Structures are given as C-alpha cells and as structure tokens.
Amino acid sequence: MLRGIDGCIGLSMLVDRSSGRCIATSAWQTREAMLASEPQLRPVREHAAEILGARPQVDEWEIAVLHRDHSSGPAACVRATWVRMDPAQADRMVDVYRMALLPVMEGYDGFCSASLLVDRESGFAVSSVTYDSFEAMERSRHRADALRESGAREAGVEIVEVGEFKLALAHLRAPEMA
C-alpha cells in the first residue's frame, strides 16, 4: 500500500526480536509528498501499533547521506547509532560522517550500506550501517565502537543510543547521496 502512494520511494523495517522493538521507515521524494501521505498512513500506523501492542512514535528525518556498496540479502543486520548535537553543528556532523567515517565503514567486512538521517531542528541524527549478516556486524563491533567514539569527538556530538537489528524489510529506492 505504501509504495503505491505518490512520492513514496521506499520502506525499510528494523526488528530487535529480543526487545520487541520495531522501526519502520518510509522515504519520500519531497517533504510535501510525505506530508500529503499523512491522512492515508495514520490508520495504517494505528493498525500496525494495535497488532504489535505498542504506540507508534513518528519522527521526521532528512536523508543527509546514503551510500550503498551492494544490496542487502535476507540475513542482513543493521547497527543504528542515535546522536544529539547542537543544531547549528549539523552541517559539520554530516561532513565528518561523509568524509571521515564513511570511508572507514566501507572497509568493514560484510559492509552493505550506510545512511545518516538528520533532524536539524531538534539536533538529533541517526546513523544506520547495514551488514551482510549478524556475524559480519559482530566482527565489526570493536572497530565500529572505536570509530563511533572518535567520530563523536570530532563532530562534537553526544552518543545517545546504539542498537543492533535484523533488517526485516529493505525496499528503499532513494538515490545515493554520499
């Protein structure tokens, strides 16, 4: 249903079965298309929340960086990192991610893709790094931890949360933005 709405360029869903956390993300060609979809999507979100036994939280993000090495497969997993920053420093954080962190992440065994979503108004951002498998994600953990810490210092951001998820749906057709 979602992919049939004008302006929708994709959907992805992350799942952490141990905690029950589920993150569904839709992407839109324009902000206007996203806002116009709200009347159609509200009942869908409410129904999904009823099925899953939780209340939906809706956040709006700008896709600041999106880079794919290759498409993900059925075993793909994602490590997501949420950060908080001074909203005035958003451009600096995007530059650090694009120019310093992304080239290192690309070298991780099993790297599929990476994205950085930013809410410039609130000063929050989330990085999602997709790996071919849980094992590949696990092998990168120590290097990713060190890179995250050094990147946070360089960009002047505070790490709020890190989570690891199964990539349950990957139907994103957004253009590369690295």
Residues of the chain with pLDDT under 70: 174-178
User: What is the predicted pLDDT for the residue at 111?
Assistant: 98
- What pLDDT does residue 176 have? 67
Contacts 24+ apart (CB under 8 A), 69-74: 69/106, 69/111, 69/112, 69/113, 70/112, 70/113, 71/112, 71/170, 72/112, 72/113, 72/130, 72/132, 72/167, 72/170, 73/132
Question: Which pLDDT score is estimated for 14?
Answer: 95
Query: Full-prediction pTM beyond 0.85?
Result: yes
CA-based nearest residue to 72, from 26, 103, 25, 110: 110
| pLDDT attached to residue 178 | 56
CATH 3.30.70.100 in the chain: give the residue spans: 62-172
One of 3.40.50.300, 3.30.70.100, 3.40.50.1820, 1.10.300.10 is the CATH number of 62-172, namely 3.30.70.100
pLDDT at 138: 97
Q: What values do phi and psi take at 83, rounded to 5?
A: -130, 160
pLDDT for 106 = 96
Q: What pLDDT, on the 0 to 100 scale, is given for residue 175?
A: 64
